[in-house]
Amino acid sequence: MIVVNWNRRELLLACLRSLAAPQGAPFEVILVDNGSSDGSVEAVEAAAWPYPIRVIRNHENRGFCAANNQGIYASRAEFIALLNNDAEAEPHFLGELRAAFDRGPRVGMAAAKILVWEDPRLIDKVGHLIWPDGQNRGRGAGELDEGQYDEIQEALWPDGCACMYRRSMLEEIGGFDEDLFAYGDDAELGLRARIAGWHCWLMPQAVVRHHRGATLGLASSARLRLIERNRVLLAAKLFPGTLLWLNGAYHLARLAAGAKAALLNRGEISRFSSPKDKLRAILALLQGQWEALWMLPRTWSKRRQFRPLHRLSSRQIRQLLKQYRIPLRTLSEQAIPPLPPRRP
């Protein structure tokens, strides 16, 4: 179990305490701290934990991707779980995820049911869906959890907030792409795995509760910049050429739908309430695209290096993305609504 932390002391402690409940599988925690200055590591080291825990200290924030790779390399486990420091696991979370890999030798990923911490009636994510320009979104985000995702089923890929990977898969295709730093990294790794012939199963009895946006905030322009940059890089690295040619058209369609949703005060852009905030969001998107442009030569080189590992043809990749395509209206208008204060 790998937990990455950066200046979220109380959330981290709550995360680690949640793992004290019976998990249905033996485990150790590898805590990778990205240069926290809030006493996170000291608080963890001062506490007694009912399971083994190792700490890797970085002197700076190396990002989600590099920190998780550190944990993966430090672990010798056959199966490697990730849990965000702003998430809390329900009992038997790990055991339920582990059961996914008994479904076949090419099952490389297991996805959890992720609920909103502030109101666990609401779904945060149950796997992912994708739009053909590379923008991905959590499946079921904002829906009331009425059991509609309670059957074990194949998923496109898991969310990096709470998931499990087979070590042999990571050894074959590599870990997280550290150029991405954070956001969209689980999508890149998951799609790379699917193209290499690995599968993912949603295990809905593996449940966590997640504080959404605790790292940078849901209305963070830095978050938008990274999401947009990494969307472009994912498409450039992994999409078939025929779909890359259409990327601009799909992107414009998404922008138009997003603009319409913004006028109706719907979707993620509604979190940027004032005209000034909306302008800040637009500039963040443009900055993300500019950064992606400069990173394209390196990404294209990675694309060529990955080509020998393809098990899916270009046609099969297009079919996979079509199968898990998110409807445009859902993508543009989907957002977890503001949560009212909970009554004691």
Instruction: Tell me: do 256 and 162 sit in the same domain.
Output: no
Same domain, 198 and 246: no
C-beta separation of 36 from 6 below 8 A: yes
Spatial CB neighbours of 141, under 8 Å, sequence gap ≥ 6: 123, 124, 125, 334, 335, 336
Mean pLDDT of 273-292: 86
Tokens of 300: 């294209």
Whether residues 293 and 195 share a domain: the answer is no
Could you read off the pLDDT of 240-249 as tens digits, one per residue? 999 999 999 9
Asked whether residue 215 is assigned to any structural domain, the reply reads no
| Distance (Å, whole) CA 183 – CA 230 | 7
Statement: residue 271 has pLDDT above 70: no
What's the pLDDT tens digit per position in 300-323? Answer: 999 999 999 999 999 999 999 999
Count: domains in the chain:
2
Can you tell me the distance from the alpha carbon of 290 to that of 171, in angstroms, rounded to the nearest whole number?
Answer: 32
Q: How far is CA 78 from CA 96, 101, 196, 238, 328, in A?
A: 16, 11, 19, 27, 38
Q: Judge if 317 and 176 occupy the same domain.
A: no
Q: What is the pLDDT of residues 6-57, one digit of tens each?
A: 999 999 999 999 999 999 999 999 999 999 999 999 999 999 999 999 999 9
**What CATH number does the domain containing 134 carry?**
3.90.550.10
Q: Is residue 216 part of a domain?
A: no
* 202 and 183 both lie in a single domain: yes
DSSP codes joined into one string, 145-157: -SSTT-S-EEES-
pLDDT tier at 141, thresholds 50, 70, 90: very high
Asked which of 187, 210, 233 is the last residue of a domain, the reply is 210
- Residue 148 shares a structural domain with residue 279: no
Q: How far apart are CA 24 and CA 96, in angstroms?
A: 7
Would residue 343 count as lying in a domain?
no
Torsion region of 256: left, alpha or beta (phi above 0 gives left; psi -120 to 50 gives alpha): alpha
Domain that holds residue 302: 221-333
Q: What is the DSSP letter of 312?
A: S
Dihedral angle at the C-alpha atoms of 175, 181, 183, 189, nearest 10 degrees? -20
87-89 and 199-210 strand pairing: antiparallel
Across 128-278, the runs of DSSP E, i.e. the strands, are: 128-130, 136-138, 153-155, 162-166, 199-210
Whether residue 176 sits in one domain with residue 257: no
Predicted confidence band of residue 212 (pLDDT cuts 50, 70, 90): confident
Structural domain includes residue 342: no
* pLDDT tens-digit series, residues 50-69: 999 999 999 999 999 999 99
Looking at the structure, do residues 176 and 319 belong to the same domain, yes or no?
no
Residue 190 lies in a domain: yes
Chain centroid offset of residue 222 CA: 16
- Give the pLDDT band of residue 344 (cuts 50, 70, 90): very low
Residue 118 forms part of a structural domain: yes
Question: What is the model's pTM?
Answer: 0.93
Residues 21 and 166 in one domain: yes
Assess if residue 73 is contained within a domain: yes
Domain final position from 210, 230, 263 = 210
Spatial contact of 32 and 7, defined as CB atoms under 8 Å apart: no
Q: Are residues 196 and 258 in the same domain?
A: no
Domain assignment present for residue 143? The answer is yes
Give the end of a domain, one of 177, 210, 243. 210
**Whole-number average pLDDT of the chain:** 92
Same domain flag for 171 and 307:
no
C-beta of residue 107 within 8 angstroms of C-beta of residue 113 = no
38 with 121, same domain? yes
